[in-house]
Structure 1
Amino acid sequence: MTTLTIAPVLIPLLAGTGLLLSRRLIPLWARRGFNLAAVGVQVAVAVMLLATVSSGEVLTYNLGNWPAPYGIVLVADRLAAWMLLITALLAFFALFYAMQGTDRGSRHFHSMYQLQLLGLNGAFLTGDLFNLFVFFEILLLASYGLMVHGGGARRIRAGLHFVVLNLAGSTLFLFAAGTLYGVLGTLNMADLAVKLAETPPEDVGMARTAGLLLFAVFALKAALVPLHLWLPAAYSATSAPVVALFAIMTKVGAYCLLRVGTLMFGPEAGPVAELYTSWLLPLGLVTLLLGALGALSADELKRQIAYLVVVSVGLLLTAFGLDSTAGIAAGLYYLVNTTFGTAAFFLLADVIASRRGAALDRLRVGPKMSQAGLVGGLFFFTALLVVGLPPLSGFIGKFLVLQAALESARWPWILASVLTAGLLGMIALGRSGSVLFFKTAKGSPIAADPSASIEAWQHEHAGNGTMRLLAVMGLLALCVGLLAASGPMVDFCTATADQLLHPQGYIRAVLAPLSAGVNP
């Protein structure tokens, strides 16, 4: 047991509490500095944790020194540490962008930001289903506050829909957890993995039902078809740094599908084996194609990027649905690229909107932008990255998925779907780029949209445009670094995938105190 495992939960909890209590006592510049420093510490802790588990060790922390499955346990393996580092790096650059003016809309922004990180980090580290539910609720509360930050009818409406759908998901989560506890008497995921494999025949139906309810909850979080319709409206309505941070939100659902699917419903799960695998691949392909069609039909750049997030979810879960070491490794590599790439794209869309006056980011003819050359170059670079064209890391990720798909009997469908979605995405972004940077007019032929008044206010009060572009370029630089270190990164992802497909080490690490005779 190591205290390093609980640090990613304690740091945002203490930082968020401190920011909340001191919101009336310290000025904005001090809150900004404290928040950014707290995120920086989380980056350092995630790096140390990743270095510790990179050899394959599984770290655990039993709260109150109660052994699993009786107490709360936090577990850090390669996958959890990988997700923690991605989240911390994303949060750092999104916060840097918010510090240029977006955070002025509320005294609670910085405290909610840390509570959001608390929910994210806890979801990646928790070792039992009930505390996963708790961290989901923390995520829901913080994300709703961040989503409506700044106000405006459009945000309130989108936030209300977001909350209602997620509350429905939370209800299903409770039903699923209650059913599993009633049948098996535990909610610890490692203990569930052991007991699900030994499920008596009369309880198999209930166990499968609970597993499918969990699948529905995680599919809603991941925006998997047909539970994806909330995402474009929600992501296109909120502020740029918030939606950039939300780029990791769908990955929480994908993480849960991967973790639960390999640990609790893997090949060794007996009568409930491979419960998730049969659903992930076909639903992932449908999500991929519908997301690409949505991007093609979008009339706003932020909404178009939101649909590209849906596309990325489809490709990611298609890779996980292959249920092979190569497929999961390809998905983990692609996950990093799509998270940073779409986050940078959301921030860049906000910069573009701030320079188009009343036209904002709507894909219609608008006024000529200042410094369009630099912004246009970043748009072109980011579009290549997100669509997955060579020579950037997006292409490497997509190529790895296609290569892994060749081992599947359904490879013709996978290749056709991935290539079709890529073509549609390229057409959509090519059209957007031509409208935004070439089809300009003197003045603005588009009347101001009253529902977008909050965006206009934020653009008017935004800080230095160069500083905002630095946040965009920082995220893109991470993707370039991913490309430069593709060899070691693919090796790490392969080792992570192999660890997931052979969960005995995870189970032993969590249940070791109990097997050693430690009594609560």
Structure 2
Amino acid sequence: MTALDHLAIAPIVTPVIAAPLALLAMRRRRWAGVAISLAGCAAMLIAALALFAVAQDEMIRAYPIGGWPAPFGIVLVLDRLAAGMLVLAAILASAVMGHAIVTGADRRGWHFHPLFHFQMLGLNGAFLTGDLFNLFVFFEVLLIASYGLMLHGQGALRMKAGVAYVVVNIVGSAIFLVALGLLYALTGTLNMADLARRVAALGGEDQALIRVAGLLLLTVFALKAAVVPLHLWLPRTYAATMPVVAALFAIMTKVGVYAMIRVVPLVFGNGAGAAAWVPAPWLLPAAILTTLAGFAGVLAARALREQAAFAIIGSTGTLLLAISCWTPATIAAGLYYLGHATLAGGALFLIADATLRRRGQYGDTIMPTPRFAGQDSAALLYLGVAIAIVGLPPLSGFVGKLMILHATADAAWQAAIWWTILGTTLIGVVGLARSGSLIFWKRADTEASAIACPARSPAEFAAPAVLLALLGGYTVAAGWATEQAQAAAAQVFAPSRYVAAVLGPEAAR
């Protein structure tokens, strides 16, 4: 095994090393802990980009931990999809970490930096693992870290929302374990490549149970993705936590979507008998309701953080409109939109944070106020990200929605998908235009009290500006990004290649 092969474990090892080192250094010299944390983010980004470059040769690589062969040992699997998700997570994490340090949000508690890196450990592990039980383990790692991050900065409202968040995810974890128990009892394995073979070989007497197991598994993924009606935990949680934390959480719903893309075509694809494409009957209607609920919340929101939380739900629903058709073209369109939605959602939370820090007692409430410092910069950034969120030209949201419309032109639910996308785009335009007008352009009445707020650094606009610039670059490179998404979708719909990479060429026959 070459050094290049060992690079696959770098996104997991890096946060494992950075988290305790940052914690130990923070106790004596805070600047050293911050430097270690920044170095960890930089190392994760470099490793992710290197793995993305490695994945360009179309090979699917399996990395057996400890040299134990699959399906008996723990295995990491690198393909185009996993590599792209690693890069996306590392870019968002680097922007969020920079914003947290510049604004001092990381100083609101001792454990922000180690929790941040353990969160990244869970995310990176979920993207790389080739085993459903280890997917459960990495889900738990990222959830435990998110419990601490969600409560970072304390506060009664945050604690109340945190309790609900914990309870919902404990229920989700219990359902996940039940699904895993059923799958293991029926097949004797939880390795995804091995499951793909064994589910296809099950007899008729086991078809009902394997279908139940698949539906339970997809229910867990839908809960993580905040799909209606399992979305109620997200608005309160994301609106109550610190915006810099919520910006990192923008990718957490996408982990649920990623798990669907990874598991359904591989394990529950055409060869799965009665369990083939188990989410098909319900995922598309749920995606429509999720999109509607998300953008209706954007319209009705009373604060920027609440609006950003509902925008996350709406973008996830739009993404699932493509994914739920389960064709290579719609998956490719969905993958392009996934990258856009993650960066745009994170940017909206960071702009909300920079804005509320300047509005003093008014916070991020959607209402007119006296003019505040940095209002013009905040307004321009909000305008750019709002255009991206709703999917107007010239930014990548427009390209992504256009790709979804084109890919679903021949779908059975084509009319419903198109009307949902176009209708919610209009709702989003109205909702975000209303918020921007009230906060940044409408003058407060003369009786409004002056803003009481200390001076803020213009550097607080740097991270959202970088994310907005990346969205612009994503638009310019839309042709290249589309090719990458299409190549990743082609690998997703070639399960025999995945099985051969993990278990050997003989297993794929």
Report TM bin, short chain: over 0.9
Match of 1:66, as an amino acid? W
**Residue of structure 2 equivalent to 1:511:** 503
Of residues 453, 473, 481, the one that matches 2:465 is: 473
In structure 2, C-alpha distance between the alignment counterparts of 1:403 and 1:365, rounded to whole Å: 40
Of residues 168, 172, 175, the one that matches 1:165 is: 168
Query: Do the aligned residues in 2 keep the contact of 1:265 with 1:272 (CA within 8 Å)?
Result: yes
**Residue of structure 2 equivalent to 1:247:** 250
**Residue of structure 1 equivalent to 2:19:** 16
Q: Point out the more displaced range, 436-445 or 124-133.
A: 436-445
Q: Within 5 A, what are the aligned runs for 1:125-204?
A: 125-204=128-207
Match of 2:169, as an amino acid? N
Match of 1:57, as an amino acid? M
**Residue of structure 2 equivalent to 1:76:** 78
Gaps of 5+ in 1: 449-455
**Residue of structure 1 equivalent to 2:479:** 487
In structure 1, C-alpha distance between the alignment counterparts of 2:416 and 2:507, rounded to whole Å: 46
In structure 1, C-alpha distance between the alignment counterparts of 2:66 and 2:456, rounded to whole Å: 48
In structure 2, C-alpha distance between the alignment counterparts of 1:508 and 1:478, rounded to whole Å: 36
Task: Give 1:428 shift.
Answer: 0.3
Q: Within 5 A, what are the aligned runs for 1:409-448?
A: 409-441=412-444, 445=448
* Secondary structure in 2 matching 1:19: helix
Match of 2:458, as an amino acid? T
Of residues 83, 106, 122, the one that matches 1:119 is: 122
Query: Do the aligned residues in 2 keep the contact of 1:300 with 1:361 (CA within 8 Å)?
Result: yes
Query: Do the aligned residues in 1 keep the contact of 2:328 with 2:486 (CA within 8 Å)?
Result: yes
In structure 2, C-alpha distance between the alignment counterparts of 1:66 and 1:515, rounded to whole Å: 17
**Residue of structure 2 equivalent to 1:95:** 97
Task: Give 1:276 shift.
Answer: 2.0
Task: Give 1:515 shift.
Answer: 5.4
**Residue of structure 1 equivalent to 2:47:** 45
In structure 1, C-alpha distance between the alignment counterparts of 2:199 and 2:495, rounded to whole Å: 14
Query: Do the aligned residues in 1 keep the contact of 2:352 with 2:364 (CA within 8 Å)?
Result: yes
In structure 2, C-alpha distance between the alignment counterparts of 1:18 and 1:254, rounded to whole Å: 32
Of residues 33, 36, 39, the one that matches 1:34 is: 36
In structure 2, C-alpha distance between the alignment counterparts of 1:274 and 1:217, rounded to whole Å: 16
In structure 1, C-alpha distance between the alignment counterparts of 2:450 and 2:396, rounded to whole Å: 39
Is 1:262 matched up with 2:265? Answer: yes
Q: Within 5 A, what are the aligned runs for 1:244-393?
A: 244-393=247-396
Deviations 1:461-495 (A, max 9, x none): xx953211111111111111111111111011011
In structure 2, C-alpha distance between the alignment counterparts of 1:230 and 1:195, rounded to whole Å: 36
**Residue of structure 2 equivalent to 1:452:** none
Segments ≥4 residues shifted beyond 6 Å: none
Distance 1:437 1:182, change over 3 A: same
Query: Do the aligned residues in 2 keep the contact of 1:176 with 1:210 (CA within 8 Å)?
Result: yes
In structure 2, C-alpha distance between the alignment counterparts of 1:444 and 1:172, rounded to whole Å: 54
Distance 1:398 1:260, change over 3 A: same
Match of 2:350, as an amino acid? L
Query: Do the aligned residues in 2 keep the contact of 1:204 with 1:271 (CA within 8 Å)?
Result: yes
Task: Give 1:275 shift.
Answer: 1.0
Query: Do the aligned residues in 1 keep the contact of 2:288 with 2:317 (CA within 8 Å)?
Result: yes
Match of 1:488, as an amino acid? W
Is 1:60 matched up with 2:52? Answer: no
Query: Do the aligned residues in 2 keep the contact of 1:359 with 1:447 (CA within 8 Å)?
Result: no
In structure 1, C-alpha distance between the alignment counterparts of 2:244 and 2:407, rounded to whole Å: 34
| Alignment size in residue pairs | 504
Match of 1:64, as an amino acid? G
Distance 1:332 1:515, change over 3 A: closer
Query: Do the aligned residues in 2 keep the contact of 1:387 with 1:426 (CA within 8 Å)?
Result: yes
Task: Give 1:8 shift.
Answer: 0.7
In structure 2, C-alpha distance between the alignment counterparts of 1:507 and 1:36, rounded to whole Å: 37
Task: Give 1:269 shift.
Answer: 2.0
In structure 2, C-alpha distance between the alignment counterparts of 1:34 and 1:371, rounded to whole Å: 31
Task: Give 1:282 shift.
Answer: 1.6
Aligned CA RMSD, in angstroms, stands at 1.8
**Residue of structure 1 equivalent to 2:241:** 238
Is 1:501 matched up with 2:493? Answer: yes
Query: Do the aligned residues in 2 keep the contact of 1:193 with 1:264 (CA within 8 Å)?
Result: yes
Query: Do the aligned residues in 2 keep the contact of 1:62 with 1:68 (CA within 8 Å)?
Result: yes
Deviations 1:193-230 (A, max 9, x none): 11111111111111111111111110000000000011
Task: Give 1:323 shift.
Answer: 1.1
**Residue of structure 2 equivalent to 1:453:** none
Distance 1:443 1:338, change over 3 A: farther
Match of 2:362, as an amino acid? A
Query: Do the aligned residues in 2 keep the contact of 1:367 with 1:444 (CA within 8 Å)?
Result: no
In structure 2, C-alpha distance between the alignment counterparts of 1:446 and 1:189, rounded to whole Å: 60
Q: Give the TM-score normalised by structure 2.
A: 0.96
Task: Give 1:366 shift.
Answer: 2.1
* Secondary structure in 2 matching 1:441: coil
Deviations 1:332-352 (A, max 9, x none): 001111111111110001111
Task: Give 1:267 shift.
Answer: 1.8
Task: Give 1:514 shift.
Answer: 8.5
In structure 1, C-alpha distance between the alignment counterparts of 2:51 and 2:379, rounded to whole Å: 38
Query: Do the aligned residues in 2 keep the contact of 1:199 with 1:271 (CA within 8 Å)?
Result: no
Distance 1:407 1:446, change over 3 A: farther
In structure 2, C-alpha distance between the alignment counterparts of 1:495 and 1:99, rounded to whole Å: 37
Query: Do the aligned residues in 2 keep the contact of 1:68 with 1:513 (CA within 8 Å)?
Result: no
In structure 1, C-alpha distance between the alignment counterparts of 2:49 and 2:161, rounded to whole Å: 35
Q: Give the TM-score normalised by structure 1.
A: 0.94
Query: Do the aligned residues in 2 keep the contact of 1:130 with 1:187 (CA within 8 Å)?
Result: yes
Task: Give 1:372 shift.
Answer: 1.7
* Secondary structure in 1 matching 2:76: strand
Gaps of 5+ in 2: none
Query: Do the aligned residues in 2 keep the contact of 1:180 with 1:186 (CA within 8 Å)?
Result: yes
Deviations 1:27-81 (A, max 9, x none): 2222111111111111111111011112211111111211111111111110000
Deviations 1:397-421 (A, max 9, x none): 0100011110212111111111111
Task: Give 1:444 shift.
Answer: 7.9
Match of 2:275, as an amino acid? V
